[in-house]
Every structure is written in structure tokens, then in C-alpha cells.
Amino acid sequence: MTGPLAALLTQPLSVITAGVDLFPEALRAQGAEVEKVHWRPPAFGEPAELSALAADPRRVAANRTATERILAAGAELVAVRPAADALGIARELFLHAGPPIEFDDVSGPLRGALIGAALFEGLAADPDEAQRLLETGRIRLEPCHHHRAVGPMAGVTTASMWVSELHDPINGGTAFCSLNEGLGKVLRYGAYSAEVIERLRWMVEVLGPALAAALARSGPIDIKSIVAQMLQMGDEGHNRNRAGSLMFLRDLAPAIAESGGSATQVVEVLRFLGGNEHFFLNYGMPAAKLAMDAARDLPGSSVVVAMARNGTDFGIQTAGTGDSWFTAPADIPEGLFLGGYGPEDANPDIGDSAIMETLGVGGFSMAAAPAIVRFVGGTVPDALATTRQMYAITVTENPTYTIPVQEFRGAPTGIDVLSVARTGILPQINTGMAGRVAGTGQVGAGLVKPPQECFENALRALAHATRA
């Protein structure tokens, strides 16, 4: 025997073991040197699927390309205009959050929001008529995600509403999002009372035009830069948007003041923006959408490009599987409740806002926002540990979105379906909680994870794509 193998046998040998302690103990008892390796079997997935995906020679390079595009993506707010113009949608087409859904299957908050939108659009005179139009399919439903858009909670976006248009100057993408209504009794949480509809009208008549005029005067606003800064200022960009909303107000306030609106309207708009700590969420979300859309359609990549919930199902999409959704029934978040509400009042997980976690902020960057635990529950050490854990299921770290308390380590970025299957660690999402009953509004905020089944289904499809 010659060569490396022969050399091996002339040196002292040691044994590497993994798994149960029985083997290393037996070996040690016989005087052998034993090195224990920490290894656990994959948490889920068929062995054939796991090995097919792991062995796919395209995977590493495709995942690298996916995350390079995600990290490089820019996000500039370039326009605010009616959804009819921006998205080219007819009045009878209502967009909603999450994967596709039939009206028969919608949960309370999405039903409430759809009813409210029908009233707001003047398609129905009352909730009963709205319900009939929705049941008979006279009003059609499609996901925001199918129109390059995202919407928080119910995410209902209709032709008359004004939306923001964001542009990615690096990858060339475009994304849209509605304007944020504030908290409490609002359409996106399923409320549709008169005050909700009245606020939506004011947003069309005053807020949208004021923002559009101000933006035309100020020029594009760099949303990516604000997201980067908010992570230095105690926001995680999903359930804490305080600093982000303040920076947005700062950037646009002078242009709002000089944009030619009446003094009363200028004051109204400044008050509305100043009074809404979540206004920036609706800019962070399309910024995240731009980054994740840049990674779509990369055969061989196992990176998640969308996580979204319609209040009934949770759906994910991956870079390697085109427009397919991998869905499973959504869980109910655990967290803190407003006023007299409790767990029995909460609807299952809803909204496109999990696009923030898909990008690596929100729940993934909780360590940047320890004060978030006062809003979503849990402890500060939990928040720090959650971010550390997310590195185990992501491909890379974001050098622009950094977390000060982690000595400026970049946010964990690029969820890898294979890593989720191997570790059994599911993505952590911070989220608002809508009332289960249509018309209620927000009942709390909390923490939730996607059902493992979404990842099992995605794994199967990715494995199948390698064999194709």
C-alpha cells in the first residue's frame, strides 16, 4: 500500500462519531481516541429529496446569484399615484395579501377588508350587497404579489386607492404598495365602519395628492437608506417603524410645506404622518419586494423569495420554482393583546408583510430592536437569540442592513429551504394580529412561524426540479 492511505496507517488513528453516545463510549472503553461530531438528522424531508437538492450542482452558484441580487437591490420611492394607473387594475379586481384564495375560503379580516373596499369603491351600497358581489365573483380576487405589489395584513388594494411606486435602479425592478392608514380600526385589519371608509377617502383626496406633489418637488427618496438607518435606531422594520416613519417625515416635510396644498391640508398631512408610527412599513415592504423579486427565476436556487399569508393559508415561493406557491394552513400568532382582546379573538396569520423577514429584517433582525418585545411579547434575550438563530437558515449577511448590538454584523439574508429542512428552524416573523371577526380591526401583535409543511412542499418541488 502506498500513497496517502498508507501514510494514514502509519499515524495514530482516531475515530469520528456522530449521533448516540453508545459508540464513542464503547470505543473509548477500548482505548481508542474518539472525536464526537455534533450532527443531527435532517428535521424533515425525504432522504431522496434532501440528497437530490444537496447534490444539485447548480445550487450553490444559483443561491449566490440570488443573494447577490438581493443585497445589491436599491429601492427608491419615485411616484405616488392611483392604483388604477399604476397597476392597471379594473375597479372590480381587488388585490389581497398572501397566496391566491377563493372568496368562500377567506377569513374574517380579509372578508371585512374586501367588504370595506367594495363600499369605498362605490360598488356596493351596504355590506350585504358587497358580500353578494364577492360571492358571485362580480368582484374578482388576485394576490398583490401577482401584480408586483405587496399589502400589509389583508392587503386589499383597489383601483381608486393611491399607491407608492418604488424602483430598483440596480436590477431594474418596480414594486407597489398602498399607503398606510395607521393603527386600530383600519381596513387592513378588517374594519369597514364609516370612519374607516372616510379615512380612505381623505387619503385619496388629500394624502395621496399631497405626497405625489411633494415627491415631485423633492425628487426620489432612498428607501433602502432609511431601512439601513432604522436598524441603527431600534426599529426592526416590521412591527417597529418609528424611526423609519420619522425619517420619512423629515425627508418629505419641507416639500409637503411648499407643494402648493392649502395650509389646512399641509397641517393635516404633517399631523397624519407624525401620528402614524407605522407609515414607513408601506415603504419598507415594497423595498423588500424589489430585492426579493430580483432573485426570482433562478433555476437551482433554493432561496425563498416570498412568504405571504392571506389569513387562511401561509404561502412561500422560491427562486428555483417560478411562480408556484407552497401553502399550508396559517398558524395563529402568539403575543400581546390590545384592550380586552385575548387569544380567542385572533385570526390566523395574515399579510404580505412577511416580505420583511424574507429580506432578513423584521423578525430576523429583532436584535436591532430589543424594545420590540414590549409590543410582540417575549424577552430581550429571546430577541437577541432569534436573530442569532436565523443565521443557521440563511445563505449570507447583509452588509447594508447591520445590527449594532451584534457589533454591526449584517442581517441574516436569503432563507435556504435546504437549511430549514436540515435544521428544522423555521423563519421567525413579527406580525400584527387581526380580529377573527370581520369588522373588528387590530387585536394585538405577536410572533409566528410559517407552517413546516410549506417548506416540505417547497423542498419536494425543488428536488423534483433537479431531476427534471
Stretch that binds its own copies, among 136-144, 265-273, 280-288, 421-429 (CB under 8 A): 265-273
Tell me: does residue 253 bind its own copies (CB under 8 A): yes
Considering beta carbons, is residue 227 or 247 the nearer one to its own copies? Answer: 247
Of 41, 49, 48, 143, give the one whose Cα is nearest residue 89: 143
Q: Cell numbers 412561500 label which residue? A: 316
SS3 content of the chain, % helix, strand, coil (to 5): 45, 20, 35
Q: Cell numbers 404598495 label which residue? A: 177
DSSP string, 141-173: EEEGGGGTEE-STT--B-TTSEEEEEE-TTT--
Which position among 35, 48, 205, 379 is part of the footprint of its own copies (CB under 8 A)?
A: 379
Distance CA 214, CA 205 (A): 15
Kindly list the distances between the CA atom of residue 27 and the CA atoms of 19, 32, 39, 40, 432, in Å, as whole numbers in the listed order.
14, 5, 18, 20, 53
Stretch that binds its own copies, among 37-45, 74-82, 114-122, 231-239 (CB under 8 A): 231-239
Considering beta carbons, is residue 184 or 274 the nearer one to its own copies? Answer: 274
Stretch that binds its own copies, among 163-171, 230-238, 333-341, 436-444 (CB under 8 A): 230-238
Considering beta carbons, is residue 21 or 407 the nearer one to its own copies? Answer: 407
Task: Give me the amino acid identity at 378.
Answer: G
# binding residues, its own copies (CB under 8 A): 32
Considering beta carbons, is residue 259 or 347 the nearer one to its own copies? Answer: 259
Tell me: does residue 371 bind its own copies (CB under 8 A): yes
Q: Cell numbers 379615512 label which residue? A: 199
Tell me: does residue 380 bind its own copies (CB under 8 A): yes
Give the 3-state secondary structure of residue 449: coil
Distance CA 89, CA 333 (A): 32
Which position among 246, 292, 356, 463 is part of the footprint of its own copies (CB under 8 A)?
A: 246
Tell me: does residue 408 bind its own copies (CB under 8 A): yes
Of 416, 422, 417, 394, give the one whose Cα is nearest residue 42: 422
Determine which helix (DSSP H) or strand (DSSP E) holds 401, and give its type and residue range.
Answer: strand 394-403
Distance CA 214, CA 142 (A): 31
Stretch that binds its own copies, among 5-13, 117-125, 243-251, 421-429 (CB under 8 A): 243-251
H helix intervals, 377-449 = 380-390, 417-423
Tell me: does residue 270 bind its own copies (CB under 8 A): yes
Considering beta carbons, is residue 197 or 233 the nearer one to its own copies? Answer: 233
Tell me: does residue 247 bind its own copies (CB under 8 A): yes
Tell me: does residue 271 bind its own copies (CB under 8 A): yes
Stretch that binds its own copies, among 45-53, 172-180, 245-253, 338-346 (CB under 8 A): 245-253
Q: 266: which residues sit within 8 A by CB, 6+ positions away? A: 210, 256, 257, 259
DSSP bridge pairs for 363: none
Distance CA 143, CA 157 (A): 10
Tell me: does residue 370 bind its own copies (CB under 8 A): yes
Tell me: does residue 14 bind its own copies (CB under 8 A): no
Determine which helix (DSSP H) or strand (DSSP E) holds 350, and give its type and residue range.
Answer: strand 350-351
Stretch that binds its own copies, among 183-191, 200-208, 240-248, 427-435 (CB under 8 A): 240-248
Which position among 132, 138, 250, 388 is part of the footprint of its own copies (CB under 8 A)?
A: 250
* Site mask for its own copies (CB under 8 A), range 386-405, x = bound: ------------------xx
Shortest approach of its own copies to residue 273 CB, angstroms? 8
Tell me: does residue 16 bind its own copies (CB under 8 A): no
C-alpha cell at 430: 413579527
DSSP string, 193-242: SHHHHHHHHHIIIIIHHHHHHHHHHH--EEHHHHHHHHTTTT--SSS--H
Of 228, 358, 222, 238, give the one whose Cα is nearest residue 292: 358
Shortest approach of its own copies to residue 267 CB, angstroms? 5
Shortest approach of its own copies to residue 278 CB, angstroms? 14
Considering beta carbons, is residue 196 or 273 the nearer one to its own copies? Answer: 273
Which position among 19, 137, 322, 381 is part of the footprint of its own copies (CB under 8 A)?
A: 381
Considering beta carbons, is residue 329 or 381 the nearer one to its own copies? Answer: 381
Tell me: does residue 172 bind its own copies (CB under 8 A): no
Considering beta carbons, is residue 409 or 460 the nearer one to its own copies? Answer: 409
Residues lying near its own copies in the complex (CB under 8 A) are found at 232-235, 242-243, 246-247, 249-251, 253-254, 257-258, 263, 266-267, 270-271, 274, 370-371, 379-381, 384, 404-408
